[in-house]
Structure 1
């Protein structure tokens, strides 16, 4: 089995992404621009599972 170079693998990945993107757009898909700093994570506001720092004695 021949070992592929990293450059060849990256080129194949790039080409694959370009082909998938073109197919998506041709099928009527739309690419949305998301503002910098926006996350898909939801803030559930629940308790933290870890506490950083030294424990405070009361």
Structure 2
């Protein structure tokens, strides 16, 4: 039987270190209000017409 490699665990200290490095490198953090997506939709909604035009 082969053993699965141990899954790396992400600790709070690691997250804090990564966040500090990101901010030190000039990164910024934006606040997104609850209920809003942080993603921007580049196109409108896509609707598919299943009925053939006839």
Q: Give TM-score scaled by structure 2 length.
A: 0.49
The structure whose residues are more often helix, as a share, is 1
Q: Give TM-score scaled by structure 1 length.
A: 0.47
